[in-house]
């Protein structure tokens, strides 16, 4: 290549003469900033994760900035307000690869859902980030090809940019020496000419490699977006799974931090497809129960029914609070507040309903296998939690065909997590017979102290009961004063309610109500 600068005058007339000395070389692969606390949280989560370390190590051989991308992905998921580092501080790989990947993440359709689950919750955020990193590492060759074009193009471009900056700094230093000199120095001037030619050569090399990289990235933007979207979708699914498992099985469903208990729960449930399916429902049902417990009263769930004077702003009348909006009436409001004379709604105190024990008859015929069985188990386990919370006994009668049943009895303080898991994973299979579970329910009332129990009967099938048996069962119900609530899993095939009508006082049908609404009704009457 011909040298564009032959004399010192050529250099002094060029843009190089007016160019400022470049600052320090880019110092970070991190696109996003993090606090010391966030770094500490991440380090703790990362500790002992050999799988992630291996994935990052293999990816770093192809792209040295990949571990920083992994850290930034967690930051993007976890942080309430992700902050970016100055663009000038980023390395070439961070600018050309990491930053576009993070931009694609935030533009994905599943990102708001992912963010809602992960924001401020370290365990879902880390699990989601790990899933994203694993997926991205597996597609790294394709991503590098899409963004960088030729193999190792980004690494080559980074080395060239570093060389260009070094040449620029050298040239700027020589020009400063010349300006400070009192007389001309031909040797120095020749050094400046040589440095200017070297800087120009480096600039052209950067341009020759950089333009195709940028063009290829623009051309492949949709392909990259598709790959990132797939990884974000998988990450969102993993985050929701973590939230569902902890919410379903933990004694502290709101605790989404790294702990030995949570780690054991995740490992246990992930090994069992049955428990994973139940988790999809159980976490929501437990939350419905928690809400019902906070709001549910025997007389009408905490309705306003009278007025009183006080200083409870949460119950204050709107007309009273309106005085705060005007400077003229605010002093009056403050005086009334100090004296406890704010008009407010009076609420009745919670009243214990004093309900008895619970017996749940759960259909485990072959036709319920899959989602209906998971939903039914989640309802049963929610009823167990209701009973445990108020010191009541709970019995789960698994049933299928004639004589095929198993009864699990849970007495307050007398069972373990292993007992719950064993009951959850039990599945009998076979046909459907209603007499078997109802007979055992009566036995529990006679022999196991369940005389004040009410019965929940969950089934998807039909069973023709002999008239004689129906009459005997109705007589038992009248004498013992217990009710049976039927839940018919007839979504997609309504019309079997006649099977439950002879002995069920209330019947809920999945063909008519959403599953959550049925659970809300069942829970509200037992909390």
Q: What is the SS3 string spanning 343-399?
A: EEEECCCCCCCCCCCEEEEEECCHHHCCHHHHHHHHHHHHHHHHHHHCCCCEEEEEE
Q: Which tokens hold the place of 280?
A: 């999809």
Query: Span 431-439, mean pLDDT?
Result: 94
Q: Is residue 281 part of a domain?
A: no
Q: Which residue has the tokens 């246990």?
A: 268
pLDDT reported for residue 299: 40
Query: Are residues 62 and 171 located together in one domain of the fold?
Result: yes
- Domain tally for the chain? 3
Query: Are residues 336 and 415 located together in one domain of the fold?
Result: no
The alpha carbon dihedral of 212, 213, 216, 221 has a sign of: negative
Query: Are residues 123 and 99 located together in one domain of the fold?
Result: yes
Q: Which tokens hold the place of 344?
A: 């407010």
Query: Are residues 3 and 55 located together in one domain of the fold?
Result: yes
Query: Span 332-343, mean pLDDT?
Result: 81
Which range, of 158-172, 209-223, 254-268, 349-363, averages the lowest pLDDT?
Answer: 349-363
pLDDT reported for residue 297: 43
In whole angstroms, give the CA distance from residue 375 to residue 488: 12
CB–CB of 248/146 below 8 Å?
Answer: no
Q: How confident is the model at residue 70 (pLDDT cuts 50, 70, 90)?
A: very high
Burial code (b: 16+ CB inside 10 Å, e: under 16) for 401-428 equals beebbebbbbbeeebeeeebbebbeebb
Query: Are residues 103 and 226 located together in one domain of the fold?
Result: yes
Query: Are residues 226 and 314 located together in one domain of the fold?
Result: no
Q: How confident is the model at residue 25 (pLDDT cuts 50, 70, 90)?
A: low
Query: Are residues 490 and 407 located together in one domain of the fold?
Result: yes
CB–CB of 263/244 below 8 Å?
Answer: no
Q: Is residue 256 part of a domain?
A: no
Query: Span 191-203, mean pLDDT?
Result: 80
CATH number, domain of 475, equals 3.40.50.410
Taking the model in full, what pTM does it have?
0.75
Query: Span 113-120, mean pLDDT?
Result: 94
Q: Looking at 322, 346, 370, which one is the last position of a domain?
A: 346
pLDDT reported for residue 244: 93
pLDDT reported for residue 101: 94
Residue 108 belongs to domain spanning: 1-243
Q: Is residue 75 part of a domain?
A: yes
pLDDT reported for residue 234: 96
- Shortest CA distance to 228 belongs to which of 110, 344, 149, 329? 110
pLDDT reported for residue 24: 60
Query: Are residues 372 and 320 located together in one domain of the fold?
Result: no
Query: Are residues 316 and 441 located together in one domain of the fold?
Result: no
The whole-angstrom distance between residue 285's C-alpha and the CA centroid of its chain comes to: 17
Query: Span 64-72, mean pLDDT?
Result: 93
With 70 as the cut, is the pLDDT of residue 13 above it?
yes
Query: Are residues 217 and 338 located together in one domain of the fold?
Result: no
With 80 as the cut, is the pLDDT of residue 190 above it?
yes
With 60 as the cut, is the pLDDT of residue 128 above it?
yes
Q: Is residue 298 part of a domain?
A: no
Burial code (b: 16+ CB inside 10 Å, e: under 16) for 153-187 equals bbbbbbebbbbbbebbbbbbebbeebeeeeeeeee
Q: Is residue 352 part of a domain?
A: no
Task: Give the largest Cα separation in the chain, rounded.
Answer: 124
Query: Are residues 8 and 105 located together in one domain of the fold?
Result: yes
Q: Which tokens hold the place of 89?
A: 């501080």
- In this prediction, what percent of the chain has a pLDDT beyond 90? 50
Query: Span 504-525, mean pLDDT?
Result: 86
Query: Are residues 339 and 375 located together in one domain of the fold?
Result: no
pLDDT digits (tens, 9 = 90+) for 137-185: 999 888 888 776 666 777 777 777 777 777 778 888 888 888 888 788 8
Q: Is residue 291 part of a domain?
A: no
With 50 as the cut, is the pLDDT of residue 352 above it?
no
pLDDT reported for residue 153: 73
Q: Looking at 213, 243, 273, which one is the last position of a domain?
A: 243
pLDDT reported for residue 2: 65
- In this prediction, what percent of the chain has a pLDDT beyond 70? 92
Query: Span 257-275, mean pLDDT?
Result: 93
Helices 122-138 and 50-62, axial angle in degrees (round to 10) = 40
In whole angstroms, give the CA distance from residue 510 to residue 503: 19
Q: Is residue 152 part of a domain?
A: yes
CB–CB of 119/80 below 8 Å?
Answer: yes
Q: Looking at 318, 346, 374, which one is the last position of a domain?
A: 346
């Amino acid at each position: 290549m011909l040298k564009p600068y032959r004399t010192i005058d050529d250099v002094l007339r060029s843009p190089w003469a007016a160019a400022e000395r470049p600052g320090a070389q880019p110092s970070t692969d991190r696109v996003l900033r993090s606090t010391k606390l966030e770094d500490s949280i991440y380090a703790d989560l990362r500790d002992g994760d050999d799988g992630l370390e291996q994935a990052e190590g293999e990816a770093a051989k192809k792209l040295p900035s990949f571990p920083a991308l992994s850290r930034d992905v967690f930051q993007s998921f976890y942080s309430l307000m992700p902050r970016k580092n100055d663009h000038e501080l980023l390395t070439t790989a961070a600018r050309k690869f990491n930053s576009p990947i993070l931009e694609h993440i935030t533009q994905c359709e599943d990102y708001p859902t992912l963010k809602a689950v992960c924001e401020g919750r370290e365990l879902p955020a880390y699990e989601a980030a790990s899933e994203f990193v694993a997926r991205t590492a597996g597609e790294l060759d394709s991503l590098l090809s899409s963004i960088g074009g030729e193999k190792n193009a980004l690494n080559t471009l980074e080395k060239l940019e570093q060389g260009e900056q070094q040449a620029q700094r050298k040239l700027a230093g020589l020009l400063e020496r010349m300006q400070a000199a009192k007389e001309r120095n031909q040797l120095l001037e020749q050094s400046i000419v040589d440095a200017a030619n070297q800087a120009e050569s480096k600039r052209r090399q950067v341009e020759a490699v950089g333009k195709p990289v940028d063009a290829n990235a623009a051309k492949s933007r949709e392909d990259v977006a598709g790959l990132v979207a797939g990884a974000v979708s998988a990450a969102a699914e993993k985050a929701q799974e973590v939230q569902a498992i902890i919410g379903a099985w933990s004694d502290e469903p709101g605790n989404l931090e790294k702990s030995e208990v949570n780690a054991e729960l995740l490992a246990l449930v992930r090994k069992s497809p049955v428990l994973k399916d139940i988790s999809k429902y159980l976490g929501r049902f437990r939350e419905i129960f928690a809400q019902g417990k906070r709001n549910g009263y025997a007389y009408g769930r905490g309705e306003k029914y009278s007025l009183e004077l006080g200083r409870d702003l949460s119950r204050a009348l709107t007309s009273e609070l309106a005085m705060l909006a005007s400077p003229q009436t605010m002093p009056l409001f403050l005086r009334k507040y100090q004296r406890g004379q704010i008009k407010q709604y009076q609420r009745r105190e919670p009243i214990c309903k004093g309900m008895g024990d619970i017996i749940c008859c759960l259909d485990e015929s072959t036709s319920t296998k899959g989602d209906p069985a998971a939903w039914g188990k989640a309802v049963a386990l929610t009823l167990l939690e209701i009973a445990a919370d108020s010191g009541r006994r709970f019995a789960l009668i698994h049933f299928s065909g004639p004589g095929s049943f198993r009864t699990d009895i849970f007495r307050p303080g007398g069972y373990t997590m292993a007992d719950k898991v064993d009951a959850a994973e039990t599945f009998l299979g076979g046909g459907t017979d209603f007499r078997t579970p109802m007979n055992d329910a009566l036995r529990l009332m006679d022999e196991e102290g369940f005389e004040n129990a009410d019965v929940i009967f969950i089934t998807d099938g039909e069973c023709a009961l002999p008239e004689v048996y129906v009459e005997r069962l109705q007589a038992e119900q009248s004498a013992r004063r217990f009710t049976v609530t039927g839940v018919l899993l007839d979504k997609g095939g309504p019309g079997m309610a006649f099977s439950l009508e002879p002995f069920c006082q209330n019947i809920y049908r999945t063909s008519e109500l959403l599953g959550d609404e049925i659970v809300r009704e069942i829970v509200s009457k037992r909390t």
